[in-house]
Amino acid sequence: MKNAKARRKVAYNVGITIAINDDGSFPVFNNGLRQNVLFLYKLFKNASKCARVFLLNQSKAEPAPFPPSLGIDLDDVVRTDQVADSLDYVIAIGSAMPLGVLQGLRARGVKLIFYKAGNGAVISMEGVVAYPNSSRAELHYDHGCFDEVWLTPQHVHTAKGWYETIYRCPVVEVPQIWSPDLLEIAGAGAGSEYGYQPGREKWRLGVLDPNITVMKTSHLPMLVIDRFHRENPGKLEAAYITNSVQFKENHHFKTFAKKLPVVIDGIMTFEERFVAYAFMKKYCDAVVTHHWENGLNYLYYEILFGGYPLVHNSSFLKGYGYYYADFDAADGARALRLAMDEHDRNLVEYRRRVDQLIAALNPVSKANISLHENALFRAGALVAA
């Protein structure tokens, strides 16, 4: 068995785990994790010290030809055993790796990074308390295998100590990265233009929170909208609560929603899941959202990039959109009113500030490449041959 340490040079090879569908496809708009994999792939492809980036296919299926617009070289999608002796680093993010594979890579001297894109701490609590018969909770079979765990800033508060204790290795904060490339590739598709259109007297609001975790549900946005409606009658044309149609017969949800005047007045409706950009193009002028311990996500960037008003409670994004205090429906109604009063007048400045944010998130910026490489090298620095 060849030891990676014996062959390391200044340039390095990195593998990033990937999961593709049974039909070989790699859809990105219904899965933020896949977008994260794609952004990391592009980051390391643009890193001058990186000799090769591999996407380590953990699925049974082989990849079908990806759309050229994704920028994925099909030759980079490989099985781990095909390139095991060439790897210096592996970032496990897009799919879990079997314990035996992790142990084999570690024996070769490969440095292993676990990139936790979600909040496994909260998800594990939910998996035990709320979903005891499901697979929602994380399975910690792989503790002791990794050299580092990477977390993006929104998960540090709740998950850092959790992962330090379980995995017994350093937990490193890395910046979240994002690019509007995917939205631009989608065009955002045929039909009406993606982006805020000023001039509407009555707004159509969207709530796009997924309703699959306590970290992101539609409860607070519904209360914000109801409070706004009661204080500003006649200002709303519609309020669409997506990802909620499955709860229409849920006893709690029925008693919660049916008491709200905005529902009684026929303005708020409950809808299926939609791809955010496609839904915004056709139906919405603004988005109201709420999170708990999950203040950064790609949905926020998509909405901001489109110039749409984002009414949110993320302290990470206080300088963007329209911020309101955690769990404060009255303050949310205030922020929504501010958005309605000022957004059209301040749209140019709003877009200018968002452009600055998008530049800071850019996966291929020198700053983000440097930050990720420094985190990588802390797991095990390269040495000259």
Average pLDDT along the chain: 91
Instruction: Tell me what percent of the residues of the chain surpass a pLDDT of 70.
Output: 93
- The answer to whether 47 and 10 are in contact (CB under 8 A) is no
Asked if residues 262 and 226 have their Cβ atoms less than 8 Å apart, the reply is yes
Check whether 171 has a pLDDT greater than 70: yes
Mean per-residue pLDDT, 306-319: 98
Residue 30 is predicted with a pLDDT of: 73
Looking at residue 385, what is its pLDDT?
36
What mean pLDDT is predicted for residues 7-21? 83
Q: What number of other Cβ atoms are within 10 A of residue 181's Cβ? A: 18
Q: Does the structure show a pLDDT above 90 at 307? A: yes
Q: What is the pLDDT at residue 384? A: 38
For residue 225, pLDDT over 60 is answered with: yes
The end-to-end CA distance of the chain, in Å, is 19
Mean local confidence (pLDDT), 245-261:
93
Q: Where are the beta strands (DSSP E) in the chain?
A: 12-18, 50-57, 77-78, 89-92, 111-116, 148-151, 171-173, 203-207, 236-241, 268-270, 286-288, 310-312, 322-323
Contact of 352 with 304, CB cutoff 8 Å:
no
Query: Which of left, alpha, beta for 231 (phi over 0: left; psi -120 to 50: alpha)?
Result: alpha
Q: Are 354 and 304 in contact (CB under 8 A)?
A: yes
| For residues 152-170, average pLDDT | 95
Cβ neighbours of residue 111 closer than 8 Å, sequence gap 6 or more = 88, 89, 90, 147, 148, 376, 379, 380
Q: Is the pLDDT of residue 223 over 70?
A: yes
The answer to whether residue 264 scores a pLDDT higher than 80 is yes
CB 150 within 8 A of CB 115: yes
Q: Which pLDDT belongs to residue 140?
A: 77
Residue 190: per-residue pLDDT:
43
Q: Which residues pair with 57 in a beta bridge?
A: 18
Q: Is pLDDT above 60 for 189? A: no
pLDDT at position 32 is 87
Residue 381 is predicted with a pLDDT of 61
- Are 52 and 86 in contact by the 8 Å Cβ rule? The answer is yes
- For the ranges 4-8, 33-37, 127-131, 156-160, which has the lowest average pLDDT? 4-8
Euclidean distance between CA atoms 289 and 282, whole angstroms: 19
Domains of the chain: 4-177+363-379 (3.40.50), 181-361 (3.40.50.2000)
Over 70: is that where the pLDDT of 4 sits? no
Please, are residues 265 and 229 in contact by the beta-carbon 8 Å criterion?
A: yes
Q: How many residues does the chain have?
A: 385
For residue 7, pLDDT beyond 70: no
pLDDT in tens, 69-103: 889 999 999 999 999 999 999 999 978 899 999 99
What is the rounded distance in angstroms from the CA atom of residue 125 to the CA atom of residue 127? 5
Over residues 329-344, the mean pLDDT reads 98
- 120-129, 158-167, 220-229, 289-298: the lowest-pLDDT one: 120-129
- Single out the residue of 324, 282, 275, 328 nearest to residue 302, CA to CA: 275
pLDDT of residue 44: 98
Q: What is the predicted pLDDT for the residue at 57?
A: 95
Report helix angle 156-167 to 120-129, nearest 10: 80
